[in-house]
């Protein structure tokens, strides 16, 4: 790779280093130099985000920064002066989609030679991807990583005004930056970061390499953000972290996530959700707090990944399937009407038919309301990517199909229990397909389509369920 002076390229080896160094909380790190303050005036940006909620939330920061320097958001790439893809690296098919999109958008440079193409997010943290971009996608002008978002004004200025190809990807543990602008994409539901990064190093997962070390925001900063959201009329917050259960461990904070959850509940916002929880360190205190407060929603995303204890060990998951069941039962017993979703990977290297059967068994046991199921995708730099794999792709595909059939049947069965019941629904807005039908979510995170009699977007109303589908419910307001 031709390295221009000033380029910082990703380095996966450096990205996995974890030191005992204290995380710095930066209250003034984000700053816009004077010459950049109006660089976006009269210009449009088109932002597309892939992947998880953490990435969605990063998208809101990026939009906040761009609007601070004068840009206006547009919703078709044709109108844009700056196109930015905020990407996900968790599986290869997510990456292929982005590379396809980048290729397809290239034509726009013909009609608008000043157009600036940018790529950021988790893919930008990968050595191999940046190499491919530099070699095969010369029309990409700007690449920056998950640790470089606060540098966007400076980086974009270099790419757009100085017309210099710009690559800045830090591979480091990371800090907590508190003074970043934000443009919320939701009107009554908001994402709230409580921590960044991940130290779990599950053997298949790229995230600890792309997002740095586990680091928590100070509790006061989080609670103040939620107070502000309440003042602005937000009804629901989702507390975000790669593993929220670890919240506060790095700060040696007494009470950890259970304490944060309780303090959040006491603020009185109508709905609180959180994601993601690792089954390994889900504490009894957390379960008690969830059970005690009505505004903490009875819905838990609890990724199991596999139903086989040997496989879980190879995946580096730190629990056995018996421990998972025990936790599941404990939550079910204490949190009334709790719904569960999960993540499952099939076709991990050398997975046997018997091990896969154990995965079907845990689905039978938990009868998840929803499950996100994936074929294992090797990620460069992770331990699993170096494992030999004797499972042919057609076997993986066939296992995924069998698993999905089972998952769908239980999703439908769980929904059947709602027939004729009245549920509380937070109104999101008119449904995309039919403007007379409104949609929203129950406390247990079920999508409901219903006829609205009175009320408005952002209200919580009672809806009687009249029909059920596998992935949604139909009803009428009562
Ligand atoms: N291959 C397939 N699925 C993966 N996930 C994470 N890494 C991989 C991978 N390499 C899944 C896990 C995780 C979810 C976000 O994505 O199930 O919980
Ligand atoms: Fe994708 Fe993981 Fe990055 Fe989220 S943290 S965008 S899921 S790779």
Residue 2 has pLDDT above 60, yes or no: no
pLDDT at site 128: 96
Atom 16 of ligand 1, residue of closest alpha carbon: 90
4 — pLDDT class (breaks 50, 70, 90): low
Percent of the chain residues past pLDDT 70, beyond the cut: 99
pLDDT at site 432: 84
pLDDT tens digits for range 448-475: 999 999 999 999 999 999 999 999 999 9
Name the nearest CA neighbour of 460 among 240, 294, 260, 293: 294
In CATH terms, 12-168 corresponds, of 3.30.420.40, 3.40.190.80, 3.40.50.150, 3.40.50.12160, to: 3.40.50.12160
Locate 278 and state its tokens.
């690792």
Question: Per-domain residue ranges for the chain?
Answer: 12-168, 179-416, 422-477
* DSSP one-letter string for 239-250: EE-TTGGGTTGG
What is the Å distance from ligand 2's center to 216 Cα?
18
Locate 474 and state its tokens.
């139909």
What is the Å distance from ligand 1's center to 91 Cα?
7
Residue 1 has pLDDT above 80, yes or no: no
Atom 2 of ligand 1, residue of closest alpha carbon: 376
Locate 384 and state its tokens.
């699993």
pLDDT at site 6: 81
250 — pLDDT class (breaks 50, 70, 90): very high
Q: Average pLDDT, stretch 368-388?
A: 98
**Topology classification of domain 179-416:** pyruvate-formate lyase- activating enzyme (3.80.30)
159 — pLDDT class (breaks 50, 70, 90): very high
The CA distance from 138 to 127, in Å, is 16
Residue 425 has pLDDT above 90, yes or no: yes
Q: Average pLDDT, stretch 12-21?
A: 95
pLDDT at site 134: 97
Atom 1 of ligand 2, residue of closest alpha carbon: 88
Percent of the chain residues past pLDDT 90, beyond the cut: 97
The CA distance from 109 to 158, in Å, is 18
The CA distance from 122 to 52, in Å, is 10
Q: Average pLDDT, stretch 320-344?
A: 98
Locate 353 and state its tokens.
């038919």
Name the nearest CA neighbour of 212 among 280, 146, 277: 146
Question: Is 54 close to ligand 1, i.e. is its CB under 6 Å away?
Answer: no
Q: Where are the alpha helices (DSSP H) in 37-126?
A: 53-68, 92-105, 108-111
Nearest ligand, measured from the Cα of 85: 2
Q: Average pLDDT, stretch 118-145?
A: 97
pLDDT at site 153: 97
Whole-number average pLDDT of the chain? 97
Residue 68 has pLDDT above 70, yes or no: yes
pLDDT at site 436: 86
Nearest ligand, measured from the Cα of 375: 1
Q: Average pLDDT, stretch 78-89?
A: 98
Best residue among 211, 214, 278, 301 to mutate for probing ligand 2, ranked by most atoms within 8 Å of CB: 211
CATH number of 422-477: 2.40.50
Pocket of ligand 2 (CB under 6 A): 51-52, 54-55, 88-90, 121-122, 206-207, 210-211
- Looking from the CA of 27 toward its CB, the CA atoms found within 13 Å total 2
Ligand 1 atom showing the smallest separation from residue 305 Cα? 17
Best residue among 89, 91, 363 to mutate for probing ligand 1, ranked by most atoms within 8 Å of CB: 91
The CA distance from 174 to 14, in Å, is 12
Residue 89 has pLDDT above 90, yes or no: yes
DSSP H or E segment with residue 27? none
Atom 18 of ligand 1, residue of closest alpha carbon: 343
pLDDT tens digits for range 262-318: 999 999 999 999 999 999 999 999 999 999 999 999 999 999 999 999 999 999 999
pTM over 0.75, yes/no: yes
Name the nearest CA neighbour of 302 among 358, 365, 346, 366: 366
422-477 shares the fold of 179-416:
no
């Amino acid at each position: 790779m031709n390295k221009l002076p000033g380029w910082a390229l990703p380095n996966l080896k450096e990205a996995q280093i974890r030191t005992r160094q204290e995380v710095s909380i930066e209250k003034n790190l984000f700053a816009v130099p004077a010459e950049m303050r109006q660089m976006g005036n009269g210009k449009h940006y088109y932002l597309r985000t892939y992947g998880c909620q953490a990435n969605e939330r990063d998208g809101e920061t990026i939009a906040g920064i761009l609007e601070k320097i004068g840009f206006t958001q547009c919703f078709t790439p044709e109108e844009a002066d700056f196109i930015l893809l905020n990407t996900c690296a968790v599986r290869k098919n997510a990456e292929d989609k982005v590379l396809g999109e980048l290729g397809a958008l290239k034509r726009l440079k013909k009609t608008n030679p000043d157009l600036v193409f940018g790529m950021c997010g988790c893919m930008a943290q990968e050595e191999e991807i940046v190499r491919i971009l530099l070699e095969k996608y010369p029309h990409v002008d700007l690449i920056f990583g998950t640790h470089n978002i606060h540098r966007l004004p400076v980086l974009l200025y270099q790419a757009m005004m100085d017309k210099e190809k710009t690559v800045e990807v830090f591979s480091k543990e990371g800090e907590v930056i508190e003074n970043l602008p934000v443009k919320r994409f939701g009107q009554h539901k908001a994402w709230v970061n409580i921590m960044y990064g991940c130290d779990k190093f599950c053997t298949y997962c790229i995230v600890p390499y792309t997002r740095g070390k586990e680091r928590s925001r100070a509790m006061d900063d989080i609670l103040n953000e939620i107070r502000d959201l309440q003042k602005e009329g937000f009804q629901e917050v989702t507390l975000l972290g790669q593993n929220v259960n670890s919240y506060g461990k790095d700060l040696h904070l007494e009470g950890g996530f259970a304490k944060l959850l309780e303090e959040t509940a006491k603020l009185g916002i109508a709905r609180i959700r959180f994601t993601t929880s690792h089954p390994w360190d889900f504490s009894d205190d957390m379960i008690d707090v969830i059970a005690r407060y009505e505004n903490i929603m009875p819905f838990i995303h609890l990724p199991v990944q596999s139903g086989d204890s040997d496989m879980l060990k190879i995946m580096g998951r730190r629990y056995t399937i018996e421990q998972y069941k025990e936790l599941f039962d404990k939550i079910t017993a204490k949190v009334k009407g709790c719904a569960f979703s999960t993540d499952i990977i099939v076709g991990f290297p050398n997975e046997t038919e018997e091990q896969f059967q154990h995965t079907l068994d845990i689905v039978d046991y938990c009868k998840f309301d929803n499950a996100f199921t994936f074929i294992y995708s090797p990620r460069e730099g992770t331990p699993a990517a170096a494992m030999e794999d004797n499972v042919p792709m057609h076997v993986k595909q066939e296992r995924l199909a069998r698993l999905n059939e089972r998952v769908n049947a239980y999703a439908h069965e769980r929904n059947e229990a709602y027939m004729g019941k009245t549920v509380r629904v937070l109104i999101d807005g008119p449904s995309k397909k039919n403007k007379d039908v409104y949609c929203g979510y129950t406390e247990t995170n079920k999508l409901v389509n219903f006829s609205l009699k009175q009320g408005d977007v952002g209200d919580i109303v009672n809806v009687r369920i009249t029909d059920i589908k596998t992935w949604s419910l139909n009803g009428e307001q009562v």
